[in-house]
Amino acid sequence: MDKTSYLSLIIPFYNEEENLPFLVEKLNQVLPSLGKTFEVIFIDDGSDDNGFDILKSLLTNKNNWRIIRLRKNFGQTAAWAAGLDETKGEIIVIMDSDLENDPSDILLLLSKIDEGYDIVSGWRKNRWANNPLSRRLTSRLANWLIAKISGVKLHDFGCSLKAYRQEVLKDVKLYGEMHRFLAILASWQGAKIAEVVVNFTPRQFGHSKYGLERIIKVILDLIVIKFLSGYFTKPIYFFGRVGIFSIILSFLTFLLSVYYKFWGGKTFIETPLPVLTALFFIVGIILILIGLLAEMVMRVYHESRDRKIYVIKEKYN
């Protein structure tokens, strides 16, 4: 295989032995029609079925098809990160292995990428067509909330089928459960995003690995990335603002306690206001100190790694 390829296709899987043969068959029909070099990287995220051995038998004599086998089930974010570390392509496409994504839609994503976009996201527009109204409303509300908080206007953040230019991902680091926000993280680095409607086929084999716990993780991760997007390089702005607000509250509660003392007929010990005054003041000071410490940590982080606080798109001359 060439040192670099046009396309790198990353496919994480976990206990998908029944789906993998059908997926490989469909990819064999689609990828050669590209007319360009490509590589396929399967990431076995610690499966305990026969998926790895089945894939090995299917990929005989396919030098541009690889399998990366993780020692245990590290989770989808780790599987994505492992795949991204192995890619050599100019364009990176990530898709699920459960056959809910249609491999033929890869061509649609690449066509949109050629229009000048950095990221193209799939939109499973008809996914909830035959589901109860409650499921449809929940999905729309979740996607609306993520779009509102992140500032990235997509209809289907949960769709794994996306295409990325390699350069927009090189400074994006994945951890926790951040894989579902990869497009958001890249967008915050200046990536240009488009969305195209893709096919959706209900899962035929196996069962979904997602449940109620996923919703909780999404909410918590969204809070984290929103905080990092606004205050990663200047944490004092967050902690300092909250700290100053707390000190202002302490001043107001102090004035209120003085009012009750001289005009309200209540002594200091008859109301909780003096305690609240001290509490708000101490919390405010602590938050400001935390902000200062965070500033020093970020200074050390950037200087020790020589990390830039900007991203260059291109240079001329």
**pLDDT (tens digit per residue) in 10-61:** 999 999 999 999 999 999 999 999 888 999 999 999 999 999 999 999 988 8
- Angle (deg, nearest 10), helices 212-231 and 235-262: 90
The pLDDT value recorded for residue 1 is 44
Give the integer Cα–Cα distance in Å for 197 and 47: 31
**pLDDT (tens digit per residue) in 161-195:** 999 999 988 877 777 777 888 888 888 888 899 99
| One-letter amino acid for residue 142 of the chain | A
pTM of the predicted model as reported, rounded to 2 decimal places: 0.76
Give the HSE-up count for residue 272: Cα atoms under 13 Å, Cβ half-sphere.
3
Question: Which own/partner pairs from 85-88 qualify as long-range (CB within 8 Å, at least 24 positions apart)?
Answer: 86/41, 87/8, 87/10, 87/39, 87/41, 87/166, 88/1, 88/2, 88/3, 88/4, 88/5, 88/8, 88/39
Calculate mean pLDDT across residues 296-309: 69
Q: What secondary structure, in 3-state letters, does the chain show?
A: CCCCEEEEEEEEECCCCCCHHHHHHHHHHHHHHHCCCEEEEEEECCCCCCHHHHHHHHCCCCCCEEEEECCCCCCHHHHHHHHHHHCCEEEEEECCCCCCECCCHHHHHHHHHCCCCCEEEEECCCCCCCCCHHHHHHHHHHHHHHHHHHCCCCCCCCCCCEEEEHHHHCCCCCCCCHHHHHHHHHHCCCCCEEEEECCECCCCCCCCCCCHHHHHHHHHHHHHHHHHHHHCCCHHHHHHHHHHHHHHHHHHHHHHHHHHHHCCCCCHHHCCHHHHHHHHHHHHHHHHHHHHHHHHHHHHHHHHHCCCCCCCCCCCC
228 vs 62, residue with greater confidence:
62
Give the integer Cα–Cα distance in Å for 261 and 25: 82
The pLDDT value recorded for residue 92 is 95
The pLDDT value recorded for residue 209 is 52
The pLDDT value recorded for residue 280 is 94
φ/ψ of 163, rounded to 5, equals -115, 140
Calculate mean pLDDT across residues 278-286: 95
The pLDDT value recorded for residue 187 is 86
